[in-house]
Structure 1
Amino acid sequence: MQRDRRIRVLHVIPCLGHGGAERQLAELAKHFDHKRYALTIAYYSRDHQLRGELERSDLHLVRLPKGGRGSPFLLQALIRLILRLRPHIVHSWVFAANVWGRLAAAMCGVPVIIAYELGCDPGKPLLHRLVERALARIGHCVMVNNWPAAELSMRTQRLPLEIFRLVENGIDLTRLDAASDSDGREWRRAMGLPQDVFLFGIVARMTAEKGHAVLWQALAALASSGQRHRLLVVGDGPLRARLRAAAKKMGIADAITFAGARDDVPVAMKAIDCLVIPSLREGLPNVALEAMGSRRPVIATDVGGCARAVLDGETGWLVPPGDPAALAAAMADAAADPGRAHRRGETGRAVVEKRFLVEHMVSAMNRVYGELLAARGVGRRCVGYVASRFPRLSETFVLREANALERLGWRVVPLSLTRPRLVDWLHAAAERWRGRAVVPDPWFYLSLAWVHLVALLGRPRTYTATVAAIICQVGWRRFDALVRHLAAFAIGLGFLGRVKRLGWVHAHFAWVSATAAWAIARLAG
């Protein structure tokens, strides 16, 4: 059976529902190069509306057990999954997944750890900021879809600039173009919306930061001035009942149509005349790109990365956040001249085709993956050379063999079960290995308990079976030999905490070295 030599990538995300991060991950997974990358998506929430769409792609979906988003059982499940898959990259999305995903990946020694920061929230709780600042030290990259989010993290969490990578959102135009203007008119008719009114739309989860309350005030201001426009609300959330009651109290309930959460957002985009994004906090909203890709103008607040997509006076209108009067003025301006609004929608389509296609996002992500993998040394054939003591003055042929493997393109990492003597390093051939050889120093012994705990949590059956096999092979009667072999097992497993991505394990001919190499191979796959 041919070995799968693709780069293994594990994505960790809370759910597969209708959200910005979920949609971006779905588009990325569907369009990534599956001949080069083997993708696995792990999620733990019941919301999985996008699962059916992803199951048609060449990837693996895993539903993790969860006892609450702060549950240690989730961490244990992730550790087991990582030890089973042995991914080259762990890429987490959204705060909770970033926390547990990075912890599990660091504990298992994953070569490349990436966290995706989507939003730009200056009001983030202090605890969240402290946790993200601490975890950024164990990751290798914080990916953002807009530079304001990176600048905010640098300012509030004191993270260095070089840790950030920018990958802007991209959308699949074929998915949007599957819906036509006639589909939009039919959708309007089915929803009971007249064809001759200027229809605004908001597509967002009903939470405080999405700014529905500000939009209600703007709509009420337009109604009080005699301008009767209609608003289509697509989405659901915890504030649904409160927002419905507020609309009735403000006398604008008749002007608002609540469509709920829907899967046919491309058709809804064709039904509206202008999209409104009144968010108080935002990253680079997918919904803005989808509206522009559907040739619809956008009115958005100037927060996060909105200004990157919505060009004021060209593809739409930008207004200050939390300003109902400015929002009402922009909505009145859009409705006053439908021809101008249509032209701005056409310009938006051109901007998307130039900068925000899913192919651009995949290319940028592929480039970041390649840079990080190269920086971490992933891709070179790596062999761990286990010896009872490395180097030995009397065994220079071992050094010659290691040098020969290096010339053939292998990366050789000597793993010494005991600390070499100072005189062993005086040999000219041994000097070049001094910085690379892994020897059991005091810090190594301190980390042993941690490495064994991770192995026991991740692969309890394999761990106990390996110990039992060593005991059965050596036997109780040879107690001194059994102690040496169990010590070799303990130290050999400790090498996994120091050396990343071993492809092969080679034991120097001693029996004890073979036990350590066998333990590494069993527990590391």
Structure 2
Amino acid sequence: MALVIATLNYGGAQVQLCHLAKLLRRYKYEVMVCCVTRGGPLAEDLREAEVEVRVIGKRHKLDVTVLWKLIRIFKSYRPDIVHCQLFTANMWGRLAARISGIRGIIATVLSLEADRGISYVLVDRLLAHVTDRIVCNTWEIKGYLAEGEKMDPGKLTVVHNGVDTDWSGSWLAAHGILPLGSSKSALGLAPHRPVVGMVCRFDPRKGIEIFLDACELLLRQRDDVQFLLVGDADPAQPDQVACKAQVMKRLEQSPLSSSVVLPGLAADVRPLLHCMNVFVLTSHTEGLPNALMEAMAMERPIVATTVGGVPELVRHEIDGLLVPPGDPEAVANAVLRLLQQPDVAWVMARKARERMCEDFSLARMVSDTTKIYHEVLRM
């Protein structure tokens, strides 16, 4: 199997690919990962799991040498399946696989309508003719591709993301994670005050401004609440760099400055999720957000916006509370309710973890994916 992606920086698609590659390797599949643009911190994680990683080194948007480099790799490695993820890899990887005569060509599409420009749509429509399966990680995306972009429904299938369901209080204890009060203190948080947190890239689509607006509204109701904003910007992405600059400028000029802790990027978010009394997702657009799934697996009470595949994860009033996107008042009210009704919050949190264990495990994700591989090879 050859898995193709643009980079191995921290991100939802990259984390899912790493989970898939490592578990395929554990199940005795031969796996190679090709990074079209550059490697990243997750590359070493894969190499430690004995997964081969090749970096192509795309220099600019239309660097056609990428195509020939991928063709050479595919003709040398001779994978049965080439499975590409995200637009850059989907374009170059599928072209190279077709020219190389690869038996099975699979693309994964994670973007919603708002993220897909006309060039993306045209390229995907063209390459759909040489693709055996198009994997979507939400039913919403599958529906949009079938209805909005007129792709062949017979080629479309849904495989939801998977989450490591060992992410629980028992895991923390077994691995020597500090008790809750000590964990908060280590981050500069007051041990006995509630924490409302979010984990995300500093990306305009993540709605960080809505989160901060909601934080200000919450402080007017409860001055004991403190906030944890986990994540960072990719320095290679100008929109993320600008987003981070706006966040930092706002915090410097805001009464929130003494209430918001920014620990930066975390390779392992479990100890940080452990500190949160409520996990919040305020995105304007999403696929199937890993951070939300991780928080649910960690049994955190949830407030999330009704975007993308979020309603496929969170059942309102069962696993958490759903609110409209772009509405900080609704976010603040939902968080306040969970803080004021801890018994209700923890019942929802337990249901959220049960849902992740039953329907969104890594084992289920890998099983669904390998089933597609075998179906394609039998065609």
Return the TM-score normalized by structure 1.
Answer: 0.67
Alignment partner, residue 187 of structure 1 = 183
Note the C-alpha offset of 1:19: 0.7
State how far apart, in whole Å, the 2-side matches of 1:51 and 1:312 are.
Answer: 37
Note the C-alpha offset of 1:216: 1.3
Note the C-alpha offset of 1:186: 2.7
Alignment partner, residue 50 of structure 1 = 42
Alignment partner, residue 112 of structure 1 = 104
Q: Is the 8 A contact 1:65 1:73 kept in 2?
A: no
Q: Does 1:311 align with 2:315?
A: yes
State how far apart, in whole Å, the 1-side matches of 2:277 and 2:336 are.
Answer: 13
The one of 213, 220, 224 aligned to 1:224 = 220
CA shift in 2, pair 1:249/1:156, >3 Å = farther
Note the C-alpha offset of 1:194: 0.8
The one of 26, 30, 38 aligned to 2:22 = 30
State how far apart, in whole Å, the 1-side matches of 2:60 and 2:182 are.
Answer: 42
CA shift in 2, pair 1:316/1:152, >3 Å = same
Higher RCO structure, 1 or 2 (CA under 8 Å, sep 6+): 2
State how far apart, in whole Å, the 1-side matches of 2:100 and 2:271 are.
Answer: 44
The structure whose Rg is larger is 1
State how far apart, in whole Å, the 2-side matches of 1:235 and 1:185 are.
Answer: 22
Q: Does 1:246 align with 2:239?
A: no
- For residue 198 of structure 2, give the secondary structure of its aligned residue in structure 1: strand
- For residue 217 of structure 1, give the secondary structure of its aligned residue in structure 2: helix
Q: Residues 75-111 of structure 1, C-alpha deviation per residue, up to 9 Å, x if partnerless?
A: 2211111111111111011111111111111111211
Note the C-alpha offset of 1:68: 2.3
Look up the equivalent residue of 1:131 and give its one-letter code.
Answer: V
CA RMSD of aligned residues (A): 1.8
Note the C-alpha offset of 1:271: 1.4
Q: Residues 309-345 of structure 1, C-alpha deviation per residue, up to 9 Å, x if partnerless?
A: 1111111111111111211111111121223222211
Q: Is the 8 A contact 1:121 1:281 kept in 2?
A: no
What does residue range 90-489 of structure 1 map to in structure 2 within 5 Å?
90-174=82-166, 178-180=171-173, 182-237=178-233, 238=241, 239-375=243-379
- For residue 106 of structure 2, give the secondary structure of its aligned residue in structure 1: strand
State how far apart, in whole Å, the 2-side matches of 1:228 and 1:35 are.
Answer: 49
Alignment partner, residue 487 of structure 1 = none
- For residue 98 of structure 1, give the secondary structure of its aligned residue in structure 2: helix
Q: How many residues align?
A: 367
- Identity over aligned pairs, percent: 29
CA shift in 2, pair 1:368/1:223, >3 Å = same
Alignment partner, residue 68 of structure 1 = 60
Q: Which moved more, 1:318-327 or 1:61-70?
A: 61-70
CA shift in 2, pair 1:345/1:175, >3 Å = closer
Look up the equivalent residue of 1:112 and give its one-letter code.
Answer: G
- For residue 287 of structure 2, give the secondary structure of its aligned residue in structure 1: coil
State how far apart, in whole Å, the 1-side matches of 2:366 and 2:376 are.
Answer: 15
Look up the equivalent residue of 1:178 and give its one-letter code.
Answer: W
Q: Is the 8 A contact 2:133 2:155 kept in 1?
A: yes
CA shift in 2, pair 1:131/1:224, >3 Å = same
Return the TM-score normalized by structure 2.
Answer: 0.92
State how far apart, in whole Å, the 2-side matches of 1:47 and 1:228 are.
Answer: 42
State how far apart, in whole Å, the 2-side matches of 1:248 and 1:359 are.
Answer: 44
Q: Residues 469-506 of structure 1, C-alpha deviation per residue, up to 9 Å, x if partnerless?
A: xxxxxxxxxxxxxxxxxxxxxxxxxxxxxxxxxxxxxx
State how far apart, in whole Å, the 2-side matches of 1:161 and 1:185 are.
Answer: 51
Alignment partner, residue 517 of structure 1 = none
- Unpaired runs of 5+ residues, structure 2, are 234-240
Note the C-alpha offset of 1:129: 1.5
Q: Which moved more, 1:289-298 or 1:331-340?
A: 331-340
Look up the equivalent residue of 2:310 and give its one-letter code.
Answer: C
- For residue 31 of structure 2, give the secondary structure of its aligned residue in structure 1: strand
- Unpaired runs of 5+ residues, structure 1, are 1-8, 376-525
Look up the equivalent residue of 1:341 and give its one-letter code.
Answer: A
Note the C-alpha offset of 1:22: 1.0
Note the C-alpha offset of 1:35: 5.5
Q: Is the 8 A contact 1:15 1:47 kept in 2?
A: yes
Q: Residues 220-259 of structure 1, C-alpha deviation per residue, up to 9 Å, x if partnerless?
A: 2222345542110111112212111123334322221111
- For residue 179 of structure 1, give the secondary structure of its aligned residue in structure 2: helix
CA shift in 2, pair 1:326/1:175, >3 Å = closer
State how far apart, in whole Å, the 2-side matches of 1:287 and 1:81 are.
Answer: 33
State how far apart, in whole Å, the 2-side matches of 1:145 and 1:285 are.
Answer: 10
Q: Is the 8 A contact 1:288 1:310 kept in 2?
A: no
Note the C-alpha offset of 1:300: 0.9
State how far apart, in whole Å, the 1-side matches of 2:332 and 2:309 are.
Answer: 22
Look up the equivalent residue of 1:105 and give its one-letter code.
Answer: A
State how far apart, in whole Å, the 1-side matches of 2:46 and 2:59 are.
Answer: 25
CA shift in 2, pair 1:269/1:65, >3 Å = same
Q: Is the 8 A contact 2:38 2:57 kept in 1?
A: no
